[in-house]
Amino acid sequence: MEAARRASASPLLRRRLLPAGGSSACGPARRWVTYMPRPGDGAPRTVTLIPGDGIGPLVTGAVREVMEAMHAPVAFESYAVHGDMPAVPGEVVESIRRNKVCLKGGLATPLGGGVSSLNLQLRKELDLFASLVHCSNLPGLPTRHSGVDIVVIRENTEGEYAGLEHEVVPGVVENLKFCSERIAQYAFEFAYLNNRKKVTAVHKANIMKLADGLFLESCREVATKYPGIKYNEIIVDNCCMQLVSKPEQFDVMVTPNLYGTLVANVAAGIAGGSGVMPGGNVGQDHAIFEQGASAGNVGNPKIVEQKKANPVALLLSSAMMLRHLQFPSFADRLETAVNRVISEGKYKTKDLGGDSLTQEVVDAVIAALD
């Protein structure tokens, strides 16, 4: 019962311990703990919506359609934001501050030229210091490796992606890199609340002795507070090799900013592709949910024109969002419906070996809802 208590307490994720409602290959799912809401918890919640660029409007539109079909207690407040804007409009930031939660499609980031990423602006403005990507096998989706169930938690506002760099002299650019204890604390807290057994710190302290050394010191200190969770460390080079050869050895992985982006996308590719991996960014007061792996989150013009974007990743991210909002039964229903569609294999977009339209996948998910 202790394990069940921890699973039900998680604000983000319960997939591992508590099967989503409905039935599975093993028979009816067992609901270990009944969710007892507080009075007023059923009131609709307003969520800021940023459709974004590329496939963003297609996949966020898919989420809205499924939410309406479920009669989920969520109302969207939509804003047009695009990656080529000089900054995130003030009213958008204010909306997220007010609503506390945002669902976002991909925002294209211009390369070079000194143009700041709006994704980074949002993370720093709202202090969304933790990025979470859940990379796991889905039933019915063939992959090279089975038994993959990895959560990658990376620092989101410090290190290389903080944009703290400057040109010392012409041709010489200096980048400031540092990490904080709170990402280590969040990783262990997540593992504890989700009954995860191991946290692995990914680093390059053999070369970055001060910066990554500080990161490891923080992880080791926090690890002492969680004796029930195994802790180990791995150099990022070896980590990438181990991921593609024996991914099942990993559970929760905590990383500095840049390494985490690489590790999360590798893990996503191993587990089935970026089109099916959910994720989010969270801070003390706010959260933004989006496709987990950054690769392909904007797509290409051909996919947009053909309307064949894969909506699964954002649908699963919205299930994470529903749990964050403490609407667990709606999250269970959505996740179960998505898993049924993937398992049946009739409606799959091109990245999963099919040729379905986004709308066909959405219609199938709606039909599979309990």
Q: What is the DSSP letter of 159?
A: G
User: Over the stretch 116-173, which tens digit does the pLDDT of each residue have?
Assistant: 789 999 999 999 999 999 999 999 999 999 999 999 999 998 765 555 554 555 654 4
Question: What are the structure tokens assigned to 132, written together?
Answer: 């979470």
In this prediction, residues 1-19 reach a mean pLDDT of 41
Quick one: what percent of the chain has pLDDT higher than 70?
84
| Cα–Cα dist 211/183, whole Å | 14
Residue 113: what pLDDT? 58
Note the pLDDT of residue 93. Answer: 98
What is the domain class of 144-271 according to CATH?
alpha beta
Domain spans, the chain: 37-128+278-369, 144-271
Q: Where are the beta strands (DSSP E) in 240-337?
A: 252-255, 278-282, 287-291
Alpha-carbon distance 347 to 114, whole Å? Answer: 42
Average pLDDT over residues 356-370: 97
Domain spanning 37-128+278-369, CATH class = alpha beta
For 233-284, write each residue's pLDDT tens digit: 999 999 999 999 999 999 999 999 889 999 999 999 999 999 999 999 999 9
- Count of CA atoms in the C-beta half-sphere (13 A) of 38: 3
pLDDT tens-digit series, residues 191-204: 999 999 999 999 99
Q: Which amino acid is at 271?
A: A
Question: Mean pLDDT across the stretch 346-357?
Answer: 96
What's residue 164's pLDDT? 52
Q: CA-CA distance, 181 to 214, in Å (whole number)? A: 9
Note the pLDDT tens digit of each residue in 176-189.
Answer: 555 578 999 999 99
Which two structure tokens, joined as six digits, stand for 347?
A: 């409606």
Task: Note the pTM of the prediction, 2 decimals.
Answer: 0.87
Please write the tens of the pLDDT for every residue from 276-305.
999 999 999 999 999 998 877 788 899 999
The answer on pLDDT for 17 being more than 80 is no
Confidence of residue 6 (pLDDT cuts 50, 70, 90): very low
